A and B are shown apart, each in its own frame.
Chain A
Amino acid sequence: MAEAEESPGDPGTASPRPLVSLGSATKGTEGLSDISISQDIPVEGEITIPMRSRIREFDSSTLNESVRNTIMRDLKAVGKKFMHVLYPRKSNTLLRDWDLWGPLILCVTLALMLQRDSADSEKDGGPQFAEVFVIVWFGAVTITLNSKLLGGNISFFQSLCVLGYCILPLTVAMLICRLVLLADPGPVNFMVRLFVVIVMFAWSIVASTAFLADSQPPNRRALAVYPVFLFYFVISWMILTFTPQ
């Protein structure tokens, strides 16, 4: 009665055989590789991969689509997130599909507008391009690390994404300030710029806390929000004190 057959592919037969043939155990040297499930049990049916159609679509479509489509898709995603920052509601779009294109665009724009002219580089003046870039990115990384160390449950890149996108109001303030500075300087000029920067600073804080505050336990919320306040305050100060050379 040693059914030591190795016949994995047999179709089901009607013979009453035991389910698992242990005969090979007596042979000793063959080991467990000789045990086979009996052919009684027919295996049939369909196996469907649920994501299959989507994968096929991605495989062919994103490789073969035109460059314009790819760029427009990414730009639309970035634009959609800009809208979410400008009208902050409690929605998860910024957190769910995070991307870092928007923060990069905003940071480069801000740094380009804030840098001092190269002609005046020997005099101590405003920040260089690299200094603004470093402040924005290292500030965002530090705040993210702080939030995670305090026990928040937001992921690293989600937090970077939110902080980067919420610079948008301050970039708009920078554009307005540059336009206002084209007019003649004076106290009125300064008051207008001050007002614009204060409003945009408040907008940035509100937008970022709408996204970030929920990720912290309630007894540490203020500890996590204060560095965000300091970060946007420093950027607002750099915008306000910008003087064209």
Chain B
Amino acid sequence: MSGGEISSRTLQIFFLIIGRRLTGRMAAVDDLQFEEFGNAATSLTANPDATTVNIEDPGETPKHQPGSPRGSGREEDDELLGNDDSDKTELLAGQKKSSPFWTFEYYQTFFDVDTYQVFDRIKGSLLPIPGKNFVRLYIRSNPDLYGPFWICATLVFAIAISGNLSNFLIHLGEKTYHYVPEFRKVSIAATIIYAYAWLVPLALWGFLMWRNSKVMNIVSYSFLEIVCVYGYSLFIYIPTAILWIIPQKAVRWILVMIALGISGSLLAMTFWPAVREDNRRVALATIVTIVLLHMLLSVGCLAYFFDAPEMDHLPTTTATPNQTVAAAKSS
């Protein structure tokens, strides 16, 4: 929406500039302030060179569009976006996604990571430090799809296998228990995890884009970056799922708290700068919803895939006299 408006307006400005040059007028910088363009004027006059860049690729990803209006007064956000030169050189030097989307090379740009980069991103997701923004430090240069996809795949199998193993260990002594591999749970786990890791970022991105059109936010993330953050934030659940095999309720809930603390704080610290400009209530509601959904995922997985450990304390001996009494009554 806003992308189409801005690109059409840049086209109008371009033709106006050409027209003025043809008529021999000097195109002074002041001429670029056109009164009829209301809200786009601030971002365009702050960065007059941005017109030529936008025309080359009007369908560019939204992260480049809010530009970097000078004089924002927040140094942290200037650091976040890099200074203007580095943004421009990045834009002009290498348009990464230049292949059309039906070629194989287009998708190869999402897998352009080395081993040490993936490890660095995983380490960054495990240690969220309040000063450092995960996206700026690790992902802004190069969002990838390798991490989110394979972390989700590993998590699916970790949850299914650990759940199966923990149920087996809990019911180990019982004579009436017949072990089944419960293969159907793998498909259920896969649906849940992949839906969470892809649909929630889509909804969040749509929401942030909508708020961006109303309130000019300084920081905005592209869809790929949001998917990356969510994917890497799920990494902490892999060791958590393995440790959930321990059949103690207290241990499991402590693990839930720790995992939620780490990944929830990672998500909150990443998305707080994106909603900070907004209405206070909307910003808080967004962050609370993000953390709440995350908690729902972890508690839901714990409840569904892992049986409660108290079951092994149910005495089977008291069950059988009841059954025999019931059988005697019915006969």
A residues with a Cβ closer than 8 A to B are 123-128, 131, 146, 148-151, 219-223, 226-227, 230, 233-234, 237-238, 241-243
Contact = CB atoms under 8 A, between A and B. Distances in A.
Nearest to A225: B115
Interface in B97-149: 104, 107-108, 110-116, 118, 146
A227 B150 contact: yes
8 contacts: A124-B180, A124-B185, A148-B104, A149-B107, A149-B110, A150-B111, A151-B111, A234-B157
Given A227-B150, A230-B157, A234-B157, A126 B180 contact: yes
Interface in B163-194: 164, 178-185
B153 interface: yes
A148 B111 CA distance: 10
A245 B182 CA distance: 13
Given A223-B118, A230-B153, A243 B108 contact: no
Contact of A125 (B146, B154, B161, B182): B182
B115 A223 contact: yes
Contacts of B108: 149, 151
A215 to B, nearest CB: 15
Contacts of A222: 115
A125 B180 contact: yes
Given A146-B146, A151-B108, A221 B115 contact: yes
B164 A241 contact: yes
Nearest to B105: A149
B181 A238 contact: yes
A128 B183 CA distance: 9
Nearest to A128: B183
Contacts of B182: 124-125
Contacts of A241: 164, 179, 181
Given A221-B115, A223-B146, 6 more contacts: A124-B185, A126-B180, A148-B104, A149-B107, A150-B111, A243-B179
A230 B115 contact: no
Nearest to A241: B181
Nearest to A123: B180
Interface of B is mostly: helix
A126 B164 CA distance: 12
Nearest to B147: A223
A220 B183 contact: no
A131 B181 CA distance: 13
Nearest to A223: B115
Nearest to B178: A243
Given A227-B150, A234-B157, A241-B164, A126 B181 contact: yes
Given A226-B150, A241-B181, A243-B181, A219 B115 contact: yes
Contacts of B110: 149
A223 to B, nearest CB: 5
Residue from B112, B114, B181 whose CB has the most chain A CB atoms within 10 Å: B181
A237 B164 CA distance: 11
Which 9 A-B residue pairs are closest in the complex by CB-CB distance? A149-B111, A127-B183, A241-B181, A219-B114, A222-B115, A125-B180, A126-B181, A150-B111, A124-B184
Residue from A127, A149, A151, A227 whose CB has the most chain B CB atoms within 10 Å: A149
A219 B110 CA distance: 16
Nearest to B118: A223
Residue from B107, B146, B178 whose CB has the most chain A CB atoms within 10 Å: B146
Contacts of B154: 230
Contacts of A242: 181
A131 to B, nearest CB: 6
A220 B116 CA distance: 9
A200 to B, nearest CB: 18
A98 to B, nearest CB: 20
B224 to A, nearest CB: 15
